[in-house]
């Protein structure tokens, strides 16, 4: 009876995990997807606790309590910190997988080395390598996103870096193969695999700039899922294999979508040091950006027929999404058609802008993907860029020397008038000037995005409409 209950719990968990991913595809069903995922994981844990032979309940209870103590405060982070919070989750997942691999190997090595078959050792080695490189890599990604002083946001590069990284990974893989073939005789190689995996995770992330963080986070998600798959084989747990496969495949698919959105390959993301500050040309006439006041911007906005808002990370930092909703309300009640152009890699994680705008109750149908919005850009009266930088830089279309050359962008420069809200003229993560800011029809609105949008809303409310 107990085994049947376990199988039913695992089957229900698998179904809930699949529906959770499916429902997360749309904001209207996303909340349902979250609850389905939580219910699935709860059933999975209860089913596992029903397994015969479970002992040390005190240790299990202590671990659960510790998980709650860490997890509950992490659920209270602001939306601007969700990317690094997500990276920490990947780190915990990778660490768990790595520790399970260590425990399983040394337990069998001491008690029953005959069970260390080549298949099981392959799963253990895979689990340890993926788990520990995900652990340190995710910690580094979280540190970059949090802008910790001792972890530089900009890429850290040195001559022969890629060769060193690949050599370390190659040595770890060769040591792992040795362990697979001779798990007892070559047991001294196991700590080598662990250390090299930890080091490789750090070295994998330090040459990657902030502009690639959305892709890196989804890729780390994929690694964590693959580590869970290996852990499922190690523990002979089919549910772990299913859940890990869902996690790993969804992360990989999302990474592919992100790379396509940037017109770049995985290799270029992982080894291209994108985000490195570019040297400025000494010659040439200094460019001058024109500025405008919130009052002037409000006057032009209320006379427009079609307005497109392009959100970026600056909007997230300023927590301006609710002011943006107020702006949306002021314009729509005047009969202005307001849309939001969403770039796939805007912000610090996949779907970052969608999450922020959903929090402010922006109608989802007003969020338009880049490819669908660009054909209409020449008919747009006003485009309002809020804290976005590289995703609207026209240099991506024509400057072959630019690090973002070839990256699809939102064609904000093709609108009749462009307002760009920024704190300063500092470059974005790609470390280059944005040509859009110096265009003839572009006007800068300098200041905190929340304050600037709030002032525009105030000006519009004062006019009382037409």
Which residues participate in catalysis according to the annotation?
Answer: 390
Encoding tokens for residue 133? Answer: 């490189």
Separation between Cα atoms, residue 313 and residue 290, nearest integer Å: 22
Strands 382-386 and 306-311 turn out to be parallel
Q: Which long-range contacts (CB under 8 A, 24 or more apart) does 317-322 make?
A: 317/80, 317/387, 317/449, 318/387, 318/448, 318/449, 318/450, 318/451, 319/78, 319/79, 319/80, 319/450, 320/386, 320/387, 320/448, 320/449, 320/450, 320/453, 321/356, 321/357, 321/359, 321/360, 321/362, 322/360
Side-chain half-sphere CA neighbours of 287 within 13 A:
14
- Residue indicated by tokens 């229900």: 12
Phi, psi values for residue 176, rounded to 5°: -65, -40
CA pair distance 210, 212, nearest whole angstrom: 5
What's the number of CA atoms in the CB half-sphere (13 Å) around residue 5? 11
CA distance 86 to 349: 9
* Cα 313 to Cα 415: distance, rounded to the nearest angstrom: 21
Residue 114 burial (CB < 10 Å; 0-12/13-18/19+)?
Answer: exposed
Nearest to 446 by CA among 429, 424, 427, 466: 424
**Buried b or exposed e, range 256-273, using 16+ CB within 10 angstroms:** eebbebbebeeeebbbbb
Element (H, E) at 182: none
Task: Report d(CA 136, CA 424) in Å as an integer.
Answer: 34
Beta bridge partners of residue 310, listed in sequence order: 385
């Amino acid at each position: 009876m107990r085994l049947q209950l376990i199988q039913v719990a695992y089957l229900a968990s698998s179904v809930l995990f699949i529906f959770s991913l499916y429902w997360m595809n749309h904001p209207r069903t996303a909340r349902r997807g979250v609850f389905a995922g939580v219910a699935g994981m709860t059933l999975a844990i209860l089913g596992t606790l029903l397994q015969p032979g479970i002992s040390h309940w005190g240790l299990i209870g202590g671990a659960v309590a510790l998980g709650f103590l860490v997890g509950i405060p992490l659920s209270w982070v602001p939306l601007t910190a969700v990317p690094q919070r997500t990276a920490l989750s990947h780190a915990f997942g990778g660490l768990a997988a790595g520790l399970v691999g260590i425990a399983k190997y040394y337990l069998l090595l001491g008690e029953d080395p005959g069970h260390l078959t080549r298949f099981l050792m392959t799963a253990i080695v895979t689990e340890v390598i993926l788990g520990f490189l995900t652990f340190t890599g995710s910690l580094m990604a979280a540190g970059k996103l949090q802008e910790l002083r001792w972890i530089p946001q900009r890429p850290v590069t040195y001559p022969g870096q890629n060769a060193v990284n690949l050599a370390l990974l190659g040595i770890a893989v060769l040591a792992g193969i040795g362990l697979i073939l001779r798990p007892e005789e070559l047991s001294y190689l196991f700590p080598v695999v662990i250390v090299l995996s930890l080091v490789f995770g750090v070295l994998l992330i330090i040459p990657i700039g902030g502009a690639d963080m959305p892709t890196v986070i989804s890729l780390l998600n994929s690694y964590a899922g693959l580590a869970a798959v290996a852990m499922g084989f190690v523990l002979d747990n089919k549910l772990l294999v299913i859940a890990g496969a869902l996690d790993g495949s969804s992360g990989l698919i999302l990474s592919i979508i992100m790379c396509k959105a940037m017109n770049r390959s995985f290799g270029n993301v992982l080894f291209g040091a994108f985000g490195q500050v570019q040297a400025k040309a000494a010659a040439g006439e200094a460019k001058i950006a024109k500025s405008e006041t919130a009052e002037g911007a409000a006057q032009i906005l209320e006379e427009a027929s079609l307005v497109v808002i392009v959100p970026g990370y600056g909007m997230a930092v300023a927590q301006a999404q609710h002011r943006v909703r107020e702006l949306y309300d002021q314009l729509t009640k005047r009969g202005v058609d307001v849309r939001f152009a969403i770039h796939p890699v805007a912000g610090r994680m996949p779907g970052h802008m969608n999450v922020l705008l959903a929090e402010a109750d922006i109608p989802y149908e007003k969020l338009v993907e880049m490819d669908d919005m660009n054909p209409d850009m020449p008919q747009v009266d006003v485009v309002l860029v809020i804290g976005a930088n590289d995703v609207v830089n026209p240099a991506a279309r024509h400057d072959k020397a630019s690090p973002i050359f070839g990256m699809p962008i939102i064609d904000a420069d093709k609108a009749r008038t462009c307002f760009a809200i920024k704190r300063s003229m500092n470059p974005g993560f790609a470390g280059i000037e944005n040509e859009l800011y110096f265009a003839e029809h572009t006007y800068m609105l300098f200041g905190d995005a929340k304050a600037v949008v709030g002032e525009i809303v105030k000006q519009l409310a004062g006019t009382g409409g037409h």
